[in-house]
Amino acid sequence: MDPSAAAVVQATRNWLERAVIGLNLCPFAKAVHVKGQVHYAVSEATQPLQLLADLGAELDALVACDARERETTLLMAPRCLPDFLEFNDFLPRAERLVRKRRLEGVIQLASFHPGYQFEGTEAGDIENFTNRSPYPTLHLLREDSIERAVAAFPEAEAIYEANIETLRRLGPEGWALLDVGPSE
């Protein structure tokens, strides 16, 4: 049975609060979450072209909104691209859409997936969990927000290494206890 849009948003919100913010995987996430500036959008797409159309609509909506109201968007696709390799193959098309909309340098995409796997890792390696989310998710970020965050956190490149160490200490069992999505 497919989850409702409300269930998808709640699972993603739990992941954001418990893993991303709770483990401090992204030190910039808490402020926009607390201010209510994260927009959650659920795509009903079952095919990549439908998801691209939804991405286009969310890009337009984010750019049209004042950043004080909507700083960032999480676009979840619970019915599309369940296979990580297919999702990964989709990402260049998503990036191309950003360029076609002349939003390169304005909006940046980040990606999360229940089966996320970094190149050179095994599927169960704990470092992959830094990018594991309950559903295939495209994160639309304003570039100027990223620049401000990096200026406030001058050692931003150290975040990845710190995340790996955090997850290694936590381990798969600790991740499973967070109850934020796949733990294998």
Write out pLDDT tens, residues 64-121: 999 999 999 999 999 999 999 999 999 999 999 999 999 999 999 999 999 999 999 9
Question: 179 in a domain, yes or no?
Answer: no
Model confidence at 125, pLDDT cuts 50, 70, 90, reads: very high
To which residue do tokens 């999702």 refer? 87
Cβ atoms of 47 and 80 within 8 Å: the answer is yes
Q: Confirm whether pTM is higher than 0.85.
A: yes
Within a 10 A sphere around the Cβ of 155, how many other Cβ atoms? 9
Helical packing angle, 84-100 and 48-64, nearest 10°: 40
- Host H or E run for residue 40: strand 38-42
Tokens of 112: 């999360």
Task: With respect to residue 117, please indicate whether it lies within any of the assigned structural domains.
Answer: yes
- The predicted pLDDT at position 27 comes to 83
Question: 80: closest CA among 117, 55, 105?
Answer: 55
Each residue's pLDDT tens digit, 142-183: 988 877 777 777 676 788 888 999 999 999 999 999 999 765
Task: Give the range of the structural domain holding residue 114, as residue numbers without chain letter.
Answer: 5-174
Whether 181 maps to a domain, the answer reads no
Domains in the chain: how many in total? 1
Within a domain: 100: yes
Cα gap 75→139, rounded to integer Å: 6
Predicted confidence at residue 2, as pLDDT, reads 78
| 69 inside domain | yes
Residue 104, token pair as written in the block: 């390169």
Q: CA angle, 38 as apex, 32 and 42 as ends, to 5°? A: 160
CA distance 115 to 94: 19
